């Protein structure tokens, strides 16, 4: 593990959330994109070596839409970088962790996988190849 890459926060509206994170807190928006495979709009705001990732559903079927429906806005996942994601996933699987998806390409062109909260103490964990 090299660092906490970002904290993913589920919001109803990125534009609304930016009134706090950008306008009041003073963070810069580094990038905005839509990740079709996850049905989300994402905005990345660097904060030191890490980032805040604001996530807004781009479709009512999105996991973010379902998360907000059930639990309201809030912390959705924590993301850590690893040097070799496929190797990390194989190791986790071998030790019985519940992997939600095989490594695939997501925001920023990085390989990522999610680990189920039942394996991590209740937090959805995203591993990203650095
Ligand atoms: Zn993320």
Q: Which residues have C-beta within 8 Å of that of residue 40, sequence separation ≥ 6? A: 34, 55, 56, 57, 58, 62, 63, 64
Q: Which residues pair with residue 30 across a beta bridge?
A: none
3-class secondary structure, 82: strand
Cα of 44 from ligand 1 centre, angstroms: 9
Identify the pLDDT of residue 130: 84
Would you say residue 106 has pLDDT above 90?
no
Tell me what the mean pLDDT of segment 47-66 comes to.
Answer: 96
State pTM to two decimals. Answer: 0.92
CA 51 to ligand 1 center in whole angstroms: 10
What is the set of domains in the chain, with CATH numbers?
Answer: 3-129 (3.10.180.10)
Q: What is the pLDDT of residue 35?
A: 87
Does residue 93 register a pLDDT over 80? yes
Arithmetic mean of pLDDT, 3-11: 96
């Amino acid at each position: 593990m090299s660092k906490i890459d970002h904290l993913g926060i589920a919001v109803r509206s990125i534009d609304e959330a930016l009134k706090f994170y950008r306008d009041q807190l003073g963070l810069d928006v580094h990038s905005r994109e839509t990740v079709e495979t996850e049905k989300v709009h994402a905005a990345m705001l660097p904060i030191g070596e890490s980032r805040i990732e604001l996530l807004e559903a781009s479709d009512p079927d999105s996991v973010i839409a379902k998360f907000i429906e059930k639990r309201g806005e809030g912390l959705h996942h924590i993301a850590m970088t690893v040097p070799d994601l496929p190797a990390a996933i194989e190791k986790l699987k071998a030790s019985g962790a519940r992997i939600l998806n095989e490594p695939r390409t997501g925001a920023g062109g990085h390989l990522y996988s999610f680990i189920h909260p039942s394996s991590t103490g209740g937090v959805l964990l995203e591993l990203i190849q650095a």
